Structures are given as structure tokens and as C-alpha cells.
Structure 1
Amino acid sequence: MSSLGHQLATSVLVVGSGASGLRAAIEVAETGVAVAVVTQRPSDNAPTRERYEAAEWESTVAHPGDTGDRHAADTLRESRFLTFAERHTGWDLYRNLHARARQLAIPVLHHVYVTRLLVDDGTVFGAYGFDLVDGSGHLVHADSVVLATGGHTRIWRHTSARRHENTGGSLRLATEAGARLRDPELVQFHPFGLTGPDSTAGMPVSERARDVGGVLLNNLGERFMTRYDAENMERSDQATVARASYTEIKEGRGSRSGGVWLDLSHLPGETVLTQLPRLHRRMLELQTLDITRDPIEVVPTAQFSLGGIWVRPEDHSTDVDGLFAVGEAAWGPHSANPPTENTLVELLVRARVTGHAAAEYSATLTGTHRSPAATRAAEADVRRLLSADGDQNVRALQRSVRQLMTEHAGVVRNEAGILAGLTGLDEIEAQAMDIGVHIDIGGFRDLAHAYDLRSTVLAARATLQCALERRETHGFHHRSDHPGTASAMRVTMLWSQATGARREPLPSLPATLIEQPADTDPTG
């Protein structure tokens, strides 16, 4: 492995080539500032289309006649007022961002795994990584860095994340650089994730399936939502439906594969074919399943990281000078329970703000920070892992973390389970001291798995410790030992490697938002 096979200097470095990363990079380029993108994805890889088609992502803005305050108030109600800080759509969105980035000739370094952000005296000056194919080192000097590498949903067994993404790498990179996390315990669980096949397990089924009349059944054939929300049934909010399915499975009324059934077979076939044509086609392709006749086996799946790296809301800067974060990497305004329709609009707006701020920071610098010692430490860390020849299998340990998090910090949590999870995580971390890393003709993917394991353990620990401290139920954070929403506990959880989980009070909400009339009265 070459220590410094490739070197590059740019004004702004964006780590991650998803929609958030591309939008941020586009904003930087359009301001006339030099920008480069580094990504694990190979040059011929785009997000798997079926992930977008089955979910049928939507986007919205304020309804006609709504004021900005009214839309903001509805958003905050859905989030349980936890995240206020003072001040076939998804696929098309990505394609257009990708095309615009090519048009602007933004350089992209493909199949490069970033192992460490380079920091000198509290200021970021670039990143270090390696090529997943040949192992050559990559050193990128930059005045500012934007982390857009996703969240940590892949630390659960059922997840909508792609295989090698969302393992918590953004959280590890940021905290090792000196940043803090905010509310990592808050994660959105989609109630309708596929149980298989392996290549698409966890992929969320379109919400339209329940909107057109789909019903949830347990292994007794009961429409079990009558026990959890008899008024709204399957059209209850996502957190309540996910919790209901989890409870049915946990109490032994689930399917053999550990799911429940989403059934459309009672509807006229023409309704299903007209309203859900893409879902019908995809289920035939994936499972040879005709949803006009047969139910879909589904399970709650970790879909979206609602907490993440602590950032300033006005520009998405972090505790580390020159370091910014956006997308699932950063905490958002919807922590407890996001309105799904806001997701894509929020992505575009926040990524634009972040890119502009990173470009502006870079343009106003009067000097540069460089630390050869930090670069040497990053190189040495890679060499140390490459020489690891222990008995523990990295991927097996990752699976152990995912199973642990599903069992102890999934849809429903309690103190005893969280403490058991922390004990189990200690044991896994001890085993990880004896891992073996093996390079073969397939490249350096095993080295990437070793770093993924490090990220997964850190993200799991932050999630468990913050979940333990948040002794209340809010949206997707459900504590069965604290089922009531503790309005007096309006706090955010801040986490760092040095301090662990700490509570911080939230600022008061403006009266203009509190007094807005509600369209709905969400529960959960």
C-alpha cells in the first residue's frame, strides 16, 4: 500500500456524493470557489433505483393559504417541539443533481474511503483515505470540509440503507475531529420494510399502500391496529404503526420471518394496479409476489437518522473550525417525528446553505493550517489496521452490533434493555481488539469494514447512552418504562467521546409558532 499515492488541494472538500453532498458541492461551484467530492461509490454506481421506486418519495411546501409560521408550526408539532433552534421524486432529484455536477465539471474521487479528517489546533485542513481497489493513499488538503456521508441507520438489523453506507462513519469522523453529536438516539423507523430478499431487505414499501386501504395483519389474521389506534388504524402516524408492529412481533404474533403482513388482497385488483403500479411490478420482480392476491411481509426498519453531528442551524458549521455537516450526517429540525413530505425540500435548502457557508469560510481565510504530524498519524492508523491478524471476523462483529441494537435500542426501549446493550457493546468492543484484516483480489473492502466496525461501535454507544438519558417518550423514541411525554424535559442530548451523554435545555419557542392552530393532533 502506497502511503501517499494521490494528493489534491482544493478550497472546499465535500465527503459524500449523495443528494446532500452533490447539492452542497454545486452551491460551492456556482459561487466560483474550487470544490472536489470524494466518495466510496465507484464511478459507474448510482443509488439503486428500486430503493427510490418502492418508497415513492414525495416532497411538499406549505399548502396554499398557509403562512410560513403555519407550516413551521405544523413541522414543529410533528417533531414534538424538540428540535427548535433559535433562529418516483427522490430518484429524479438525484439524477438532476448528478447532471448539474457534471455540467459544472466538479471533480469526483471515486471508490475512496475516508478514514480520518485532518485537524490542526481545532481547525480542519483536509482528509485522508485510501482507494478501495488498490489501497493507495489519498491526501486531500482543503480550507473547509463538508461531511455528507449519511447517518447511522445501518447499525440496526433492518434498515433501508445500502449495504456499505450509513454505518455511522460521519459520526465517527466528526467526533474524532473534536465535534459533538446531538440526539443520536432519535431515529425514524419506517413501519413497512421488506423482510427479504437479502439484497433489498429493509427497503421501505410505499406509504401509499396504506393510504389506498392496505391493512396490517398478524399471524392470527387479526387486524391488530385496533389495539393501538382504533380511530386511525393503519393511517396512524409512523411511530405508532411501527411500535404496534414491533409489539406484535415481540409478543409472538409475527410471521416466521419476524414480520407482520401488509395485505391489499381485499381491494379490487384494478385499484391496486392503478394506484400502486410500481410497487406491484417491484414485488413481482423481487419476490414473485402478486400483491393483488398475496400479502407483503414487512417489518419496522431504520430509515432515517434524525439526530447526528451538532451544527449551528444558520450555517451548519460544527465545533471544529472549517468543518460543516449536512444531510443525515447532521441533526435536523425534525428530531422526534419528521413530516415525511418535508424531507427532500429540507435536503435541498440545508445543503445549499451549507455549501454557501463552506465556500464563504474558505474565501475569507487569511492563512492555511497544515500539520504533517496529523497526516502521519492518519497513515499510521491505516497501516496498523492492515497488519491486524487476529481471530475475530470484522463482519461478524458488525452483525453482532446490529443484532444488539435491534434487541435493545430498536422501536421500543427501556432502561434494563439499554444497560444490557451497553454491556454487550463493551464485550464486542473488547473482541474488536483482536480482529483480522485480509486483503484479496477483491480489493481493500475488508479494511473498509474494519473502519465501519469502529464507526458502528461509536454510533451505537452514543445512541445507547443518549437513549438512556432521555427518560421520556417522544415520537420515534419510545421508552416503555417512561410511556408519557415529559413536557418538562424539553432537552436535547449532546454527546462527545470525552463527556458521554449530557442534557442541554432547549430555547423557548416563539409565540407565533406555539399559537398556530394545528391541522392534526399527532400521537406517539
Structure 2
Amino acid sequence: MTNYETYHHDVLVIGSGGAGLRAAIEASAAGVSVAVVCRSLLGKAHTVMAEGGVAAALGNVDDRDNWKVHFTDTLRGGQYLNNERMAELHAKESPDRVRELEAWGAVFDRTDDGRILQRNFGGHKYPRLAHVGDRTGLEMIRTLQDYTIHLGVDIYQEFTIVNLLKEGDKVVGAFGYDREKGLFKVFHAKAVIIATGGMGRIYKISSNSWDCTGSGISLAYHAGAELIDMEFVQFHPTGMVWPPSVRGLLITEGVRGEGGVLRNNAGRRFMFDDVPESYRAQTSTNEEEGWRYTQGDKNAKRPPELLTRDHVARCIMREIREGRGSPHGGVYLDIAWIKEKIPNATEHIRRKLPSMYHQFKELAGVDITKEAMEVGPTTHYIMGGVKVDADSQMTSTPGLFAAGECAAGLHGANRLGGNSLSDLLVFGKRAGEYAAAYARNTPAGKINEREVQEIATAALAPFERESSAAGENPFQIQYQLQDRMQELVGIVRTGKELEEALKHIGELKEKIIRVACSGNRGYNPGWHTALELTHMITVAEAIARAALQRKESRGGHYREDFPEKSDAFGKVNINIKKDDKGEMTVTQVTKPKMRDDLQQIVNEMK
């Protein structure tokens, strides 16, 4: 029998990013016992990499902004596949969540009269992103973790959850281990909140942290929860392309919000070549008007560099594919050109974009106040994830909640920049509130000892295969998965390539049965990767199957063999669930009709 240590809490939060911490704060405030499990150290969550700002219709820079405009922008950006109730709640509640964060100690940049400053971002009609230079996510995490600690929430650092534990159809706990010693841990909980972030690390080129493997999405799926919209992966238009050691590292959209422009190797601003019909009335056709927009001219139209991320990423790929790219396989992002427009531009850039200045200076030897940056698309975000109830964030599995990037519905086919941070705040709060209420009204469940022992035995199996000649190297499997996903399930997809990807994924599923590792359980990266592979391959399969099912191009999903939008697919979401035989099933689910009052808002805003 394998030994393990047990912990008892009313609410268990898996993940210590913005959504997880905000959920923990709300649940703790409701008077229940709360624990947060994080696989890295507190404060190291991927939320710190969100740089540009948090979207909220405060109206501090442009008083024409309000929740209805934000709501409509979110639906338009998501190609109307969003959960409209989630978009409504998000637009209405994000201003209060930002003000709340400020009251807890977040130090935002300010307007001349002392209000929270807001900047332009892609897809947003008005300046809407409250920010702290280009380090907004870092400030958010700093504020939330301080508040969480002072509430007395239990924090388990460098712990990894391997499986959720169930009694009947409901979740009653989780099984994991501490990464330092490799000792097993069992958490008893009346409610569990998944807040584990994204899955960018299943791709070769990604802006995501090492721990963004889609584990939370996979945990929920294997516990019986439904997934939705998994085909919609966002490739951020601007990641670093040189040097190779930092390829994919994020370059904030704030660079373009402050006036940065995209050029090809001929020095031409190619974004003017392709403006979607739905955005043409709001988009400038000349450089001067676009510049005035970034400087706060309410009568000017936005520059085409601030169109939605999916569109900008495809335009960049077009330039690269047609031979108009930069020497290292990207295009140029130029903020230095604003020296023609404003005095003291060098200091202005360094003050507004301090992290970007430091990042390029130290990592690429490029001074962005003097030279253009080389940029290219990088896997950044998944709009899909665990299907949740809009109000409560509960999944289709009782006792299991989800919030943040791992939860789906708000963003539809494409996420607007800045909506991720307000998503964390709005729905992290709601997940914590409703999970606490569920825990108060639900008796503690009983964990099955036999199930725990089976999970522990499976977790230790890679060590048993160490001496076997047939043992598979976990790192090689991970690299193979990343290569295939990048090549076959990337920005541009075809049915033939997706079928080939699924074939490769099936072969890798066979390989992980034989995965082996050596050494002991303490700080063993090979073992950690071996246990992570099931999650990575589960999520990769879900993305590929959903992408094969959606025979159209929409938002973050582009099918070269079906390049146009389809009216039929515009009315359905792709749902994924594990059936009774353990197989992944894919179904098309018709979206409910939008509420009449919300439809009226959309019609008015058009």
C-alpha cells in the first residue's frame, strides 16, 4: 500500500493565477475553509505575463464607453459564438472588479486628473484597458496574493494535482504530489475550482509558461465535465522570433496601442491591405488618422494594427509566406517611428513600455526606441475549455467549478486583448462565491481508498519501466507532440492535416503507456513530464477533433479547405465529452437564442 498525506478543506482551488486567487478570496470571505494548490511558487503564475492591461468600461479616457459597447465588442470579436450571458456579466461587472483591485492596493497608471488611465487595444472601440505600464498582470498577482495571504488561506506551493477524486458523479477531492520530495497528497474537499490556465505548451512556439499544459482542462474532462470550443486557439500576432532561445516570448499588444505599426521587409504597412468588412467603418485608411486615434482623438478611426488578434496574425503569416518577411521569419513591429511625431519619444517609450524595452535590450540586443522589433505569431490562449454555467461557473460535474482561461464561453471564437484579465476577476469571484455556497450546503463526500491506490500505482509505473528496453522517453514524446501540433494544428489548418495529427496523437497515446523515467521522486523533471503527458495529449486530441468537426473559418480557427464562414456553423458550438467507454465524443450543439434585450443592444451598437 502506498502512503500519502491527507488534507481537509471545504473549497480546494487548483491554480494560483488571477482566477484562482480571486476565487480563493471570495470563498474565504464567505467563511469556508479554503486551500490553494499551485505547481510553482506563489507569485509565479502565468498571469504575470499579461502585460497590456485589464479591459473594463470605466469611461475614464472616453466617456462614450459603457458596458453595452464592451459587451458588443466582445461578441463581435468572438464572432457571436460567445455565451451571451457570460459576456453580459463580464461587461457589467469588470469595472467594479477593477475598482476593487485598486482598493486592495493595485497602483494603476493615472490620467492628469487622477483617475485610472486606459489605453487602446485591438478590437475595443474605445480606450478601455486599465494598466500599469506594460506589467499589469504582475501588479494584479502582487495585489491578489497579498490579500489572499492576509485572509489566512492555506497555500500549498510546488504541488501538482494528478487526478480528481469522485464519489458517484460528484467531485469530492483531488490526488497529487509535492514536487520537492515526490510524496503523494490527498485533498478532501466539498467543492473544487479548476483555475489552471491555458495549454500553450502543447505547441512548439508559445508565449506560455512551462506549466501551461492544459492539465486543468484534462482533469475536468476525465472527471466527466464537458468541454466546448476547443478548436479556437489564439495565436497572438506578436511574439519574439529572434534569438531562437526566446522564440515565442510575448510582445504586448500595448506596443501597437501606443502607436507601434507593422511593416514588411519593404518597409510598407501591410495591414492596410486587408480590413474585414465588419470593421471597415471603424478603421483608418491612412497613417495620420491612425496615429491620432492612439493619441486619444475621439473623432479618429483606429489603425488596422488594432484589429482583432486572429486577423492580424493571419495577415502577418501572409507576408511571411509570400516572401515579404524579416530575416528571421517574422515581420517588423516599429514603435521607434513615433520620434517623428512627439518630442522626447525615447523617454516616452521607456516609460510606457518598460518591460518591452528591457526585454529586447537584454534578450535580443535591440533598442526599441531606435530600431524595429522582429515579430511573428505565437500560441497564446485557448478560447475553448471547460463548459461552465454562466452565473455560477459550475461544470457539468457536480462539485467541480472552473474559472479563467481553462473555462470556456466568454470569448467565443476569438478573445479581445485585455478581456482575459477582467475575465479572471469577474468569474474568479463568481466561482469562489458559488463554490463556497455549494460547500456550505453539501455534506463531505467519501474518498474511495481503492481508487487512490490505483492512481498512486499508475503514477509510480514509469519508475518500474526504467530498465526496460521498450521504455519511452517522456521528453521525446513531448517534443514530438509539440512539433506535430505546430505543424498540423496551427494557424492554418486543413482536414487532411488534422486527420494526420489525430493519427500521430493516437500513436503517442500508445507510447505514453510505456513511458519510463529514472532516479528518485524528488524534483524529477522526467517523472513530472511523464505524468503530464496524459493531460497534454488529451487536450491536443480535443483541439484536433473539434477543429476537424468545424468545417469553416471563424475567429482563431482557420480552415484552408473551408476558408469562408458558414451560417450553419455560426449557430453551433462543438462539445466534447468522455463517454462510458472512455472514448472522446464530439457533438455539435445549437446555441440558444440570444435574449431579446441583449439582441436589441447588439442591433443598436451596429
TM over 0.5: yes
Give the match for residue 314 of structure 2: 243
Give the match for residue 357 of structure 1: 434
Letter of the 2:237 partner, please give it: P
Range with greater deviation from structure 2 (245-254 or 377-386): 245-254
Q: 2:592 aligns with which of 473, 494, 507?
A: 507
1:397 alignment partner, SS class: helix
Structure 1 residue 481: deviation in Å? 2.0
- Pair 1:48–1:375, CA change in 2 (3 A): closer
- Pair 1:119–1:112, CA change in 2 (3 A): same
1:217 aligns to 2:263 (yes or no): yes
Is there any run of 5+ residues in structure 1 with no aligned partner, and where? none
2:527 alignment partner, SS class: helix
Give the match for residue 378 of structure 2: 301
Give the match for residue 146 of structure 1: 193
Contact between 2:189 and 2:444, CA under 8 Å: does it hold in 1? no
Give the match for residue 497 of structure 1: 578
Range with greater deviation from structure 2 (7-16 or 193-202): 193-202
Alignment of structure 1 residues 47-196 onto 2, 5 Å = 47=45, 51-52=49-50, 55-61=51-57, 63=59, 64=63, 68-85=67-84, 88-163=135-210, 165-196=211-242
- Pair 1:134–1:519, CA change in 2 (3 A): farther
Give the match for residue 335 of structure 1: 412
Q: Give the total of aligned pairs.
A: 516
1:436 aligns to 2:516 (yes or no): yes
Structure 1 residue 227: deviation in Å? 3.7
Aligned sequence identity (%)? 30
- Pair 1:162–1:436, CA change in 2 (3 A): same
Contact between 1:189 and 1:304, CA under 8 Å: does it hold in 2? yes
What is the CA RMSD across the aligned residues, in angstroms? 2.5
- Pair 1:451–1:246, CA change in 2 (3 A): farther
Contact between 1:120 and 1:374, CA under 8 Å: does it hold in 2? no
Aligned equivalents of 2:604 and 2:519: distance in 1? 56
- Pair 1:127–1:475, CA change in 2 (3 A): same
Give the match for residue 283 of structure 1: 360
2:55 alignment partner, SS class: coil
Aligned equivalents of 1:56 and 1:358: distance in 2? 30
Aligned equivalents of 1:4 and 1:442: distance in 2? 16
- Pair 1:22–1:192, CA change in 2 (3 A): same
Aligned equivalents of 1:145 and 1:342: distance in 2? 24
Letter of the 1:264 partner, please give it: I
Aligned equivalents of 2:486 and 2:553: distance in 1? 18
Is there any run of 5+ residues in structure 2 with no aligned partner, and where? 87-134, 276-283, 286-302
Structure 1 residue 438: deviation in Å? 2.3
Give the match for residue 42 of structure 1: 41
Give the match for residue 8 of structure 2: 9
Contact between 2:181 and 2:521, CA under 8 Å: does it hold in 1? no
Q: Normalising to structure 1: TM-score of the pair? A: 0.91
Give the match for residue 201 of structure 1: 247
Contact between 1:61 and 1:345, CA under 8 Å: does it hold in 2? no
Contact between 2:17 and 2:47, CA under 8 Å: does it hold in 1? no
Contact between 2:167 and 2:448, CA under 8 Å: does it hold in 1? yes
Letter of the 1:467 partner, please give it: A
Letter of the 2:540 partner, please give it: A
Contact between 2:484 and 2:504, CA under 8 Å: does it hold in 1? yes
1:20 alignment partner, SS class: helix
- Pair 1:198–1:31, CA change in 2 (3 A): farther
Range with greater deviation from structure 2 (471-480 or 245-254): 245-254
Contact between 1:213 and 1:264, CA under 8 Å: does it hold in 2? yes
C-alpha offsets along residues 8-33 of structure 1, whole Å, 9 cap, x if unaligned? 11111111111111111111111110
C-alpha offsets along residues 200-241 of structure 1, whole Å, 9 cap, x if unaligned? 432221223223443323445554334433945423322111
Contact between 1:51 and 1:203, CA under 8 Å: does it hold in 2? no
